[in-house]
Amino acid sequence: MKSLGLLLMLATPSLFGQPPIAVTGVVRQALTGDPLPNILVTLNRTDAPGPEQAVTTVPNGQFEFLVPPGTYRLMAESPIFGGQIYGATSFQSGSGVALVLTPSTRLPPLDFRLTPPAAIEGTVIDGHGEPIQAAQVQLFQTLILEGRLTVIARGSANTNDLGNYRFPGLGPGEYHLVASGTPWHTWDGLAPGRGSYLVPQFYPNARSADSAAPLVLRVAEDARADFRLDEATGPGVQLSLVEAPPGIAMRLSINARGFGGRTRLQHLGTVSSSFHRVDGIPPGEYEVVVQGVVRGKPYRGLARISLAADDVTVRMPVHEMPTISGRVDCAGQSTTKMTISLYDRDQQARVPAALRPDGTFISANITPGRYSFLLAGAANCSVDRVTVGGKAVPGNRLVVGTDPIAEIVVEAKSVVSSVHGILRRGEIAQPGVKVYLAPVPPNETGPYRVYLTDSDGSFDFRRLPAGRYTLFLAPGAPELFEYANPESIAPYLKNAPTIELDADQRIRQDLAQPDPQ
């Protein structure tokens, strides 16, 4: 206990006269329950600025802090487990359960369970059974994003000299894999015989994303996904860049359809002249993208092609990428602590824009897409209306093509309405339970929200526009619960309260959790 006493002293902050509150607990491996020593545990205040507190668990896994009242986020970090937040319901992400400490809080010792990471690994071999070096394996995951089932690209890996690849640090879930590559004997360009490629293979043993099946990864599992890529010959793509800047060295990517509307990379190369040829592309539909920075300016070109048996020539105009500029107006509030970013949900791209003290912003290097604007940093500013040159932008989603757009005005207003409350079962507050909020009646646009209750059972949905809402729980909902889908939430809305929320109103609505059957 001597070493624990020393840690206690180190972790004791200056308390400014307020009675300190003890946060204690044990860090354990989630599957075995074994206590974990030597884990860095940190406590960060989230309701006010304050220094980070950090201790390392002692051999029996214990940690202890003494801190002033406030709201805190508890995290643990180690090289094996990565960073995990206390109470988080998904692996290495999510907000976790906030610790709400008031002068009267008696926090029971916390059971901090760290989920061991899982991995997917495998070997890619050729038709002779020999390892394929530098084959590309791309990983996708199906998860819930903003309340809806979404497939996201999780990364890509190249095989080593033994044909092996590995995706470590994964949580349990539904994954999709595809392997592709080019035959080694075409790399150096010494041999004629153009047009050979390795037939992309979708896990397990499928030729297309539609006929593939997900790999369901369990907690801490080391799953294997092996691939055998056969060689075939296919057509070539002849690129002819129009209006390309001189002296170009741009990145070429040829993207095919992957899983769930995401693209997968079929070919990556460098274009260094206006004419460029790529040989050996499997027949199919592709998006050809050329992008690069020439003398400090970003350029981009895009073409969609369909390849059958014959070569295709693509004439591709290359444009300087547009700059987007305008100003933010949030009812006269200062923009000094505000940040603005452009968000394209379809591409899952978030582009920051530099916001100056006078409220003007500029963002260069914008990829074509449909962007909404996100404001952060300022207490309650929420985007209300977006105009370009005085004309309203439908749905506040700005369509960006190849031309620059100036005179954007992002009108924001202060939105301070909120719904909060405490979740209890009987008399006992229920921390770490998901409370959902949906519009009444459920619609396609929302807002839909989820809140993982704090250590005192409280939930707080802030920055809500005025309107009619309902709160509900979803006991027994599937792992991938679409809480923003009117159909999938319908079974959970029986007896759910309806709340009329006016502008600038804060409504309290407590919830009772039924006893489990």
Interacting residue ranges for another protein, rule: CB under 8 A: 38, 40, 54, 75, 77-80, 82-83, 85, 92, 117, 119, 127-128, 130-131, 133, 160-161, 166, 168-169, 183-185, 188, 190-193, 195-196, 231-233, 293, 295-298, 321, 339, 341, 350-355, 362-365
Look-up of token digits 């000094």: 336
Shortest Å distance, C-beta 82 to another protein: 5
- Reading the block at residue 313, the tokens are 């020539």
Cβ neighbors of 516 (< 8 A, separation 6 or more) are: 475
Q: Which residues of 26-64 are buried (b: 16+ CB within 10 A; e: fewer)?
A: bbbbbeeeebbeebbbbbebeeeeeeebbbebbeebbbb
Task: Considering the complex, state which of residue 249 and residue 428 has its C-beta at the smaller distance from another protein.
Answer: 249
- CB closer to another protein out of 290 and 351: 351
Shortest separation between residue 131's beta carbon and another protein, angstroms: 8
CB nearer another protein, residue 141 or residue 509: 141
Residue closer to another protein (CB basis): 339 or 485: 339
- Return the number of the residue (84 or 138) whose C-beta is nearest another protein: 84
**Shortest Cβ 354–another protein spacing (Å):** 4
Rounded alpha-carbon distances, angstroms, from residue 65 to 2, 110, 218, 324, 360: 16, 12, 33, 47, 44
Smallest gap from Cβ 475 to another protein, in A, equals: 30
Token output for 290:
């050329």
Q: Give whichever of 12 and 184 is closer to another protein, judged by the CB atom.
A: 184
Interatomic CA distance for residues 218 and 222, integer angstroms: 9
Q: Which is nearer to another protein, 192 or 390 (CB)?
A: 192
What is the enclosing helix (H) or strand (E) of 138? Answer: strand 136-145
As measured in angstroms, the least distance from the Cβ of 366 to another protein is 10
Nearer CB in complex with another protein: 125/477: 125
Shortest distance, CB of residue 43 to another protein, whole angstroms?
A: 13
- As a 3-state breakdown, the chain gives helix, strand, coil percent values, each rounded to 5, of 5, 50, 45
Nearest distance in Å: CB 513, another protein: 30
Q: Given the complex with another protein, which of 266 and 363 has the nearer CB atom? A: 363
C-beta closer to another protein: residue 209 or 328: 328
Neighbouring residues of 378: CB distance < 8 A, sequence distance ≥ 6: 330, 333, 335, 337, 338
What's the rounded Cα separation, in Å, for the pair 166 and 509? Answer: 48
Q: How far is the CB of 416 from another protein (least distance, A)?
A: 23
Residue 83 Cβ vs another protein, minimum distance, rounded to whole Å: 4
Tell me how long the chain is.
517
CB of 77 to another protein, least distance (A): 7
Query: Measured from the CB of residue 28, what is the shortest distance to another protein in angstroms?
Result: 17
What is the spatial distance between Cα 248 and Cα 56, in angstroms, rounded to a whole number? 52
Q: Which amino acid is at 362?
A: I
Q: Which is nearer to another protein, 225 or 438 (CB)?
A: 225
3-class secondary structure, 184: helix
Contact 204, 279 (CB under 8 A): no
Provide, rounded to whole angstroms, the least separation between the CB of residue 128 and another protein. 5
Nearer to another protein, 260 or 404 (CB): 404
217 contacts 120 by C-beta, under 8 angstroms: yes
Q: Are 288 and 316 in contact (CB under 8 A)?
A: yes
Going by their DSSP bridges, the two strands 21-29 and 110-114 should be labelled as parallel
Contact 85, 73 (CB under 8 A): yes
**Which residues partner with 451 through β-bridges?**
435
User: Strand, coil or helix: what is 83?
Assistant: strand
Using CA atoms, how far residue 91 sits from 33, 35, 96, 297, in Å, is: 17, 19, 10, 39
In whole angstroms, give the CA distance from residue 304 to residue 318.
14
Determine the Cα–Cα distance for residues 332 and 402; give it in Å rounded to an integer. Answer: 32
Q: Which two tokens stand for residue 72?
A: 């805190």
Q: Cα dihedral angle (353, 357, 359, 361), rounded to 10 degrees?
A: -20
Residue with tokens 């296919």: 234
Q: Which residue in 253, 372, 345, 247 sits closest to 305, CA to CA?
A: 253
Choose between 106 and 128: whose C-beta lies nearer to another protein.
128
Shortest spacing between CB 95 and another protein, in angstroms? 11
